[in-house]
Structure 1
Amino acid sequence: MRADAFLAAAAALPVRDLRDLVPAGGVVVVAPHPDDESLGCGGLIAEACARGIPVRLVVVSDGVGSHPNSPSHPPERLRTLRESETLAAAAALGLPAGHVAFLRLPDRFVPSSGPRAEAAAEAIAAAARACGAGALFVTWRHDPHCDHAASAALAGLARRRLGEVRLYAYPVWAWALPPETEVADAPRGARLDVARHLARKAAAVAAHRSQTTDLIADDPGGFRLEPAMLARFAQGHEIFLDVES
């Protein structure tokens, strides 16, 4: 199925309650980079926290690839900044800092196999066990970013360690795919109504100041989330795709 048709169908998936997606147990959100959790799952995290459903957030990469040429923010300082932004975002969504884990794998070079991947998968599985997870949520494997695809693979490896745990994918960069790209069969899954959490989600996204403002102004090639991208994630529903075993 072409990407344009797939995404149009995904945007029309039925609206379901969180407990339809995760009938029992907690939730683990796997984010390739600091900010993916707020963009793709901010409403889900806020909904789960508001309902007392246990949540764990696992951030896979160190995030230092966003501004690789900044004199003022060399890698260690940038990593520290992005982690502090993530903790502020989590707090805005109702998630305590103690429920956030940073794996610090290299941004743009997250492995999908081998010893480091297996260790990362075990860390995700450990987070799932800690909250009695009924489902993992990770970026879509067709997202046009190597770390998003690798994180999807890591979540798949973790799922194999966990038994009867559901796996869902949330698209982040999918709309940047060329429309004619062949991606998958018709989407299965659901949309979650997050309208009542939009203010919290906006605050979480805004907490990632290094990605949404000119906070780091000395890297001409530095990354910044554009208004059109931010507007896409300010809508009242989040999309979650069923991932087959």
Structure 2
Amino acid sequence: MIKIKTREEIELMRESALVVSKTLGMLAGEVKPGVTTLYLDKLAEEFIRAEGAIPGFLGLYDFPNTLCMSPNAQVVHGIPNDKPLVEGDIISIDCGALKNGFYGDHAYTFEVGEVAPEVKKLLAITKQSLYEGIRQFKSGNRVEDVGFAIQNYCEKHGYGVVRELVGHGLGKAMHEDPEMPNYGRRGRGKKFMEGMVVAIEPMINLGTHQINQLKDGWTILTRDGKPSAHFEHDVAIVNGKPELLSTFKYIYEALGIVSSEEDEFRQNL
């Protein structure tokens, strides 16, 4: 069942989402060759707790860490470890936080030093596909309108769109209805309405869309071993239109990036 949020609840969810956004911004300056994902995980847990929140992933479904850290061919749900990052890696950092009784859930794929041009393009296209999908998250549209927009944009560039893993509704539970696939046909699925909040998160592979799971029961990786990218925002429907609750601005400030990509999804509430 889809749980509609009031304006007041949406503002509480914005606070939760911003804890995650600030955490990713803090981590942006720490992602570099020689750093381990376990070190980044420790920094994230300390930062989230200092913000008056609880790590949203730690212990959720028995996940052992604060962050899902998925380098290179890992798609999502990678477990932090003591293996150092190296020049040319990419790493998806997926982070959750619980504050005010509501979850934030937000992800960004970082470059570690200089990455190959084809990988840099994969990241750019995947991030842009996120916004293509968000534009379709508005009153009267349906779930697969978002998925179609993401799939169409990425497949035009020859990329594989992961089928088995999806975005989701968000609220007092980390995963609520509706599921938000990154593929689909226009006009199908549950109808969007005022007050819905979802996490939209394209997971896009440089090669095949097919995936495997490691024996750890968590880590998902591409079947052909090629890189995968993952970006995620928390979005509410306010005044019939998509309103971002999360932001990449803290990441961009840390990395010296100037961007206006989020401007169209900000309203004066």
More helix by share: 1
TM-score, normalising length from structure 2?
0.30
- TM-score (normalizing by structure 1): 0.32
Going by fraction, where is strand more abundant, 1 or 2? Answer: 2
